[in-house]
């Protein structure tokens, strides 16, 4: 047998809670990066606004699962690169990703090969997201 449908009021509260959680995570993960903060704010707001009229509890729960997965990914997998000079990129590992590196005894410092691999993966994953915002000057 399937699960009983949640009352619409409860779903609405859970959607609002997810919205707020995503914005708090965005603020924490992209702290001190105005461009990324703004791009993430716009994307979160657009996604919620585009699904605002959804009435199917099943579809709402599917969308909430996607939102929760995105929040977890942001919180645990984002690495920020900060240019300190022409040849140096300082990587800031936050959340579980930073804890994982410290647990492996690296203290958050990555070798050039490892840093390059991370940046290549990040570039591939984030290019579609950020290229869509370049048109808007972000």
DSSP characters over 20-80: HHHHHHHHHHTTT-HHHHHHHHHHHHHHHHHTTT---HHHHHHHHHHHHHHHHHHHHH-EE
42-63 pLDDT per residue, tens: 999 999 999 999 999 999 999 9
- Angle CA 22–132–93, to nearest 5: 45
Read off the pTM: 0.63
Instruction: Please determine, for residue 34, whether its predicted confidence score (pLDDT) is greater than 60.
Output: yes
Per-chain mean pLDDT for the chain: 74
Cα Rg of the chain (Å, integer): 18
Return the percentage of the chain with pLDDT > 70, whole number. Answer: 61
Could you tell me the CA-to-CA distances from 97 to 33, 50, 86, 88, 122 in Å, in that order? 18, 31, 26, 21, 14
Q: Give residue for tokens 């591939």.
A: 124
Strand, helix or coil for residue 136: coil
Instruction: Please determine, for residue 86, whether its predicted confidence score (pLDDT) is greater than 80.
Output: no
DSSP characters over 93-117: E-HHHHHHHHHTT-TT---HHHHHH
Question: How many whole angstroms separate alpha carbon 99 and alpha carbon 63?
Answer: 29
1-11 pLDDT per residue, tens: 456 666 777 88
């Amino acid at each position: 047998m399937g699960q009983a449908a949640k009352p619409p009021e409860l779903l609405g509260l859970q959607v609002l809670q997810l919205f707020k959680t995503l914005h708090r995570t965005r603020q924490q993960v992209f702290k001190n990066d105005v461009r990324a903060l703004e791009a993430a704010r716009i994307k979160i707001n657009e996604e919620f606004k585009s699904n605002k009229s959804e009435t199917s509890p099943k579809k709402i729960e599917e969308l909430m699962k996607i939102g929760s997965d995105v929040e977890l990914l942001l919180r645990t997998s984002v690495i920020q690169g900060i240019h300190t000079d022409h040849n140096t990129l300082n990587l800031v590992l936050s959340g579980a990703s930073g804890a994982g590196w410290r647990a492996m005894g690296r203290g958050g410092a990555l070798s050039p090969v490892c840093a390059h691999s991370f940046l290549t993966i990040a570039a591939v994953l984030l290019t579609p997201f950020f290229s869509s915002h370049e048109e808007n000057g972000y």
